[in-house]
Amino acid sequence: MDPNEFHTILEDAGFSPYQADAYTTLLELGSAPASEIASTSGVPQPRIYDVL
């Protein structure tokens, strides 16, 4: 499935854009520290813990 299409499906399911970004990044990375998820996904560092 196209990552952009999956992102849209997540948002349609009620995920915020930041949540969808973090979730798709987690799927790509597997396991990672919050700071790496933030930098890879584009979610601002101060928001990543709330988003996760």
For 1-52, write each residue's pLDDT tens digit.
777 899 899 999 999 999 999 999 999 999 999 999 999 999 999 999 999 9
H or E segment to which residue 26 belongs: helix 17-29
pTM for the whole structure = 0.88
Contact criterion met (CB below 8 Å) for 32 and 26: yes
Contact criterion met (CB below 8 Å) for 23 and 9: no
Q: Return d(Cα 32, Cα 19) in angstroms, integer.
A: 16
Q: Return d(Cα 37, Cα 48) in angstroms, integer.
A: 8
Q: What are phi and psi of 50, to 5 degrees?
A: -65, -40
